[in-house]
């Protein structure tokens, strides 16, 4: 008769620990995205680089997503799991909408670059911030996905996918900047950017429709 309440209490405690870990990840994301957005947008404007500007705008979208997740987790901590699950639906839809917005911007940005047939000037600050973003986003997104699965949180999974996307976009920008510097391949980053749009649309749709984060297709 005692095992039931004890087990339930332990499960609640374990969930609380996971939520606290998710908080820490979101705070790290917020701090990094502020730095990343500022440097990338500044470097993009200075170098007239659409790729860097797209990367900076992606950072702003990810910043908004992190703020949404902090709100959702705060609701659960203040009012319990039931209220947190109600907030989950709203947070999940916001995350899905942000993914759709990012996909649209990637397509528009890539199309604009291909239409203008113009490359960008090389930017050392842009290269440094994007190189740093790759391992940082990989580590953050990996842990977010683990916690999202344990919490069954669609919103946290959508946020993790945006972190993964940020890492891929960083890689695209790194390749584009180096290619521009070495061989003048102005079109490379535009084509590579389009390769991740399918991931954004798929995950955005799942978040919007409210599919379980751990559901297998």
Return the higher-pLDDT residue of 75 and 166. 166
pLDDT of res. 212: 47
Contacts of 187 (CB under 8 A, 6+ apart): 113, 114, 117
- The torsion defined by the Cα of 73, 78, 79 and 81, in degrees rounded to 10, comes to 40
CA angle, corner 119, sides to 116 and 125, nearest 5? 135
Q: Establish if 107 belongs to a structural domain.
A: yes
Tell me which residue of 135, 128, 134 sits closest to 177, measured CA to CA: 128
Q: Establish if 205 belongs to a structural domain.
A: yes
pLDDT tens digits for range 170-182: 888 888 888 878 8
Counted domains in the chain: 1
Plot region of 170 (φ>0 → left; ψ -120 to 50 → alpha; else → beta): alpha
Q: Establish if 108 belongs to a structural domain.
A: yes
> Which DSSP letter does residue 153 get?
-
Q: Establish if 123 belongs to a structural domain.
A: yes
Structure tokens at 190: 């535009």
Distances (CA, A) of 170 to 10, 16, 53, 62, 135: 40, 33, 11, 13, 10
- For the segment 59-87, the average pLDDT, to the nearest whole number, is 73
Q: Establish if 10 belongs to a structural domain.
A: yes
Q: How many Cβ atoms from other residues are within 10 Å of residue 67's Cβ?
A: 15
Highest mean pLDDT among 17-26, 34-43, 102-111: 34-43
- For the segment 155-164, the average pLDDT, to the nearest whole number, is 83
What is the average pLDDT value for the chain, to the nearest integer?
80
CATH number assigned to the domain comprising residue 123: 1.20.1510
User: Given pLDDT bands bounded at 50, 70 and 90, which one contains residue 116?
Assistant: confident
Q: What domain range includes position 23?
A: 3-209
Q: Establish if 215 belongs to a structural domain.
A: no
What are 38-47's contacts with CB under 8 Å, separation 24+? 39/125, 39/126, 39/129, 40/126, 40/129, 40/130, 42/125, 43/123, 43/125, 43/126, 43/129, 44/120, 44/123, 44/126, 46/121, 46/123, 47/120, 47/121, 47/122, 47/123, 47/126
pLDDT tens digits for range 193-214: 777 787 778 778 877 876 544 4
Q: Establish if 214 belongs to a structural domain.
A: no
Q: Establish if 134 belongs to a structural domain.
A: yes
pLDDT tens digits for range 118-130: 666 788 999 999 9
pLDDT of res. 1: 47
Query: Residues 120, 142: contact at Cβ < 8 Å?
Result: no
| pTM confidence score | 0.74
């Amino acid at each position: 008769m005692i095992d039931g309440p004890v087990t339930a209490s332990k499960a609640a405690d374990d969930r609380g620990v996971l939520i606290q870990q998710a908080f820490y990840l979101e705070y790290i994301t917020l701090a990094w995205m502020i730095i990343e957005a500022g440097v990338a947008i500044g470097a993009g404007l200075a170098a007239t680089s659409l790729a860097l500007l797209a990367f900076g705008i992606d950072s702003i979208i990810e910043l908004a997503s992190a703020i949404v997740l902090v709100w959702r987790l705060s609701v659960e901590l203040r009012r319990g799991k039931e209220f947190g699950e109600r907030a989950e639906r709203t947070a999940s839809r916001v995350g899905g909408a942000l993914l759709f917005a990012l996909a649209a911007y990637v397509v528009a940005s890539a199309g604009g670059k291909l239409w203008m047939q113009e490359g960008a000037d090389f930017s050392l600050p842009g290269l440094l911030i994007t190189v740093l973003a790759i391992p940082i986003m990989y580590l953050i997104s990996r842990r977010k996905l683990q916690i999202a699965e344990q919490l069954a949180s669609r919103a946290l999974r959508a946020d993790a996918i945006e972190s993964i996307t940020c890492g891929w976009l960083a890689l695209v920008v790194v390749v584009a900047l180096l290619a521009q510097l070495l061989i003048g391949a102005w079109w490379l980053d535009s084509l590579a950017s389009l390769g991740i749009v399918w991931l954004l649309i798929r995950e955005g749709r799942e978040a919007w429709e409210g599919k379980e984060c751990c559901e297998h297709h």
